[in-house]
């Protein structure tokens, strides 16, 4: 059993779900976020407020840790200036601190939005080229390349979980992209308990009939989801109008994040999606 496990983003939607199961995998779970507090702690859990963009805070946080589960970040599309601190500099701080403190592995919440501009009919396995659909996705690409470099040059392991959509199923797209909470927990657990992972990428998606991505190259992680969004299909499909096949938001893996904006020059128009539920 690990002595110390660190969870960043512990106050976020997904982080909140992970606190209890992770608290059972180590003698001490150190949960962290930028909030003042995150409510009642689980046995063995300790909370530390820390800003991802603050290198010294992150170095202190990772002191003596065995692994870090890094879910902290702005969890939606935002202006690049806002993404830069927590998502880009924050990722650097986590990996550099992990390396300097002798942490064994980073388990990272990446996203389908790192490859969201690929068409749905295109084959998407875990080795497909980066094709971000937003600044949010671009920062995920950055962290994946960062993780690969720290593995190649410094032997620091990482698993990059490209989560599709870990939220209630409310659209036809989500019939394919749904990741149930139980499957999320299995996924993170496998990323931790697999003896060696090197640098690995895996899609976070349930066993949906309509799952549009392929995890066969990540089979060494032993993730085998059990839930299936098809149970919601009849209701969802009956309610939704036919999709527009000339709209990249319908045709690409990234969904609404993949909407094309050729815009007028002189206008910044990349759409900022409001739905805070999306990963």
Residues 160-179 that bind a copy of itself (CB under 8 A): 172-173, 175-176
Instruction: Output the six-digit token pair for 121.
Output: 């009919």
Residues in the chain: 279
CB–CB of 109/251 below 8 Å?
Answer: no
Nearer to a copy of itself, 40 or 267 (CB): 267
> Measured between alpha carbons, how far is 193 from 226 in angstroms, rounded to an integer?
18
- The 194-223 contact track toward a copy of itself, x by CB under 8 A, reads xxxxxxx-------xxxxxxx-xx-xxxxx
The minimum distance between CB 47 and a copy of itself, in angstroms, equals 25
The minimum distance between CB 14 and a copy of itself, in angstroms, equals 23
- The 12-41 contact track toward a copy of itself, x by CB under 8 A, reads ------------------------------
| The one catalytic residue among 17, 47, 92, 136 | 136
Q: What is the DSSP letter of 214?
A: B
Instruction: Output the six-digit token pair for 122.
Output: 């295109």
The interface with a copy of itself within residues 59-78 (CB under 8 A) comprises 66
Nearer to a copy of itself, 100 or 168 (CB): 100
Instruction: Output the six-digit token pair for 184.
Output: 């999320």
261 contacts a copy of itself (rule: CB under 8 A) = yes
Which of 3, 24, 100, 168 forms a contact with a copy of itself (CB under 8 A)?
100
> Is residue 136 annotated as a catalytic residue, yes or no?
yes
* Helical spans, DSSP H, in the chain: 13-23, 55-62, 80-83, 90-100, 135-154, 172-177, 181-193, 233-239, 248-251
Which of 168, 263, 275, 277 forms a contact with a copy of itself (CB under 8 A)?
263
The CB density around residue 34, as the number of other CB atoms within 10 Å, is 15
CB–CB of 107/70 below 8 Å?
Answer: yes
Which of 240, 274, 275, 277 forms a contact with a copy of itself (CB under 8 A)?
240
For the annotated catalytic residues, the residue numbers are: 136
């Amino acid at each position: 059993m690990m002595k110390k496990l660190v969870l960043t983003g512990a106050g976020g939607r997904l982080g909140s779900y992970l606190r209890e199961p992770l608290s059972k995998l180590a003698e001490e779970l150190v949960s962290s976020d930028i909030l003042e507090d995150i409510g009642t702690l689980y046995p063995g859990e300790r909370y530390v407020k820390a800003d991802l963009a603050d290198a010294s805070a992150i170095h202190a946080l990772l002191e003596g840790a065995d692994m870090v589960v890094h879910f902290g970040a702005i969890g939606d599309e935002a202006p690049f200036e806002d993404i830069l601190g927590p998502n880009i500099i924050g990722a650097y701080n986590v990996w550099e601190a992990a390396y300097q403190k002798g942490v064994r592995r980073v388990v990272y919440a990446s996203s389908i939005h790192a490859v969201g501009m690929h068409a749905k009919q295109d084959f998407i396995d875990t080795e497909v080229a980066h094709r971000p659909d937003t600044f949010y996705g671009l920062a995920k690409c950055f962290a994946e390349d960062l993780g690969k470099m720290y593995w190649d040059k410094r032997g620091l392991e990482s698993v990059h979980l490209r989560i599709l959509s870990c939220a209630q199923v409310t659209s036809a797209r989500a019939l394919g992209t749904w990741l149930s909470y139980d499957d999320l927990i299995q996924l993170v657990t496998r990323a931790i308990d697999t003896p060696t992972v090197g640098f690995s990428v895996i899609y976070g998606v349930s066993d949906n009939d309509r799952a549009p991505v392929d995890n066969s190259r990540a089979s060494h992680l032993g993730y085998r989801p059990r839930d299936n969004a098809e149970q919601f299909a009849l209701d969802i499909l009956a309610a939704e109008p036919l999709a527009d096949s000339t709209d990249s938001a319908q045709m690409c893996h990234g969904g609404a994040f993949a909407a094309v904006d050729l815009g007028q020059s002189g206008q910044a128009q990349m759409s900022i999606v409001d739905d805070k539920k999306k990963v």
